[in-house]
Amino acid sequence: MNIGFIGLGNMGAPMAANLATAGHTVTGYDMATPAPEGVTMADDAASAARGADVVITMLPNGTILQSVAADIIPAMTPGAVLLDCSTVDVDSARAVAAMAADHGCKALDAPVSGGIGGASAGTLTFMVGGPDDALATAMPLFDVMGGRTVHCGPAGNGQAAKICNNMILGATMAVTCEAFALADKLGLDRQAMYDVVSTSSGQSWSLTTYCPAPGVGPQSPADNGYKPGFAAELMLKDLGLALQAAEAVDAPTPVGTEALHQYTVFVEQEDGRGKDFSALLPRLAGRGRD
């Protein structure tokens, strides 16, 4: 296919490179980053979108997404698919889908899970909202960029799935870090705690796949000085989106709200910015009960 790819940062660049390696013709645009291998760069976003079968966007937030969409959709071929892989608010995703429909195009919101490693390896999970025919067009691209694609329903439902997932992730990581810090103070060895909990009812992805304790469990950012695999500020963003959505539909989220508070303090008032979201553990291990 002819692919336009807008937003070639830490996630977008390896995704675009994988598509090019798979034989697709990829024209990219980014204001700040160099061309990934195999990608031809355009002078502007509309030029990258012009003539493409599918235009993929990977952008920081809903405001930027809507601005870029307003620029590129008029340049897109009628019937082409706008595939947004950003993590944004549900309302922005639905607004872009409506904008695309008004111009005779189709839209999918398809945020991802799997981080930079998954983007490079082509093992991302895509949570997709949008029509079946657009999904069928984009499925060969999902197969290159990811390991699993789940169709979650109509426009906006991909974003809904992503923010619900990451609210769980943020809360479970926060309490996993609390538990390791508590184990330290109780004199329980971290490896012993891991050996018990990883095979008991407290088991979670945050513990057994992404353990926040260095030297315990599989390799994770904790073993690399908490250099981000998933930055704390990105978790803060996603928790904020989840709570924004919860307020809009009057859904109670007391635990998610507390997780948002913990990451807000860590990122905005302490030294969490630029660290992995699992770096709550050394923060908690070094302090007493407030």
Residue 159 is inside which H or E element, if any? helix 157-186
Tokens of 209: 């796949």
Tokens of 235: 């978790």
Which of these is catalytic: 162, 185, 237, 275? 162
**For residue 1, which of 75, 56, 52 has the smallest C-alpha distance?**
52
Q: How far apart are CA 165 and CA 226, in angstroms?
A: 22
Provide CB contacts within 8 A for 261, sequence distance 6+: none
Q: How far apart are CA 264 and CA 254, in angstroms?
A: 15
In the annotation, is 162 catalytic?
A: yes
Burial zone of 101 (CB within 10 Å; 0-12 exposed, 13-18 middle, 19+ buried): middle
- Residues classed as catalytic: 162
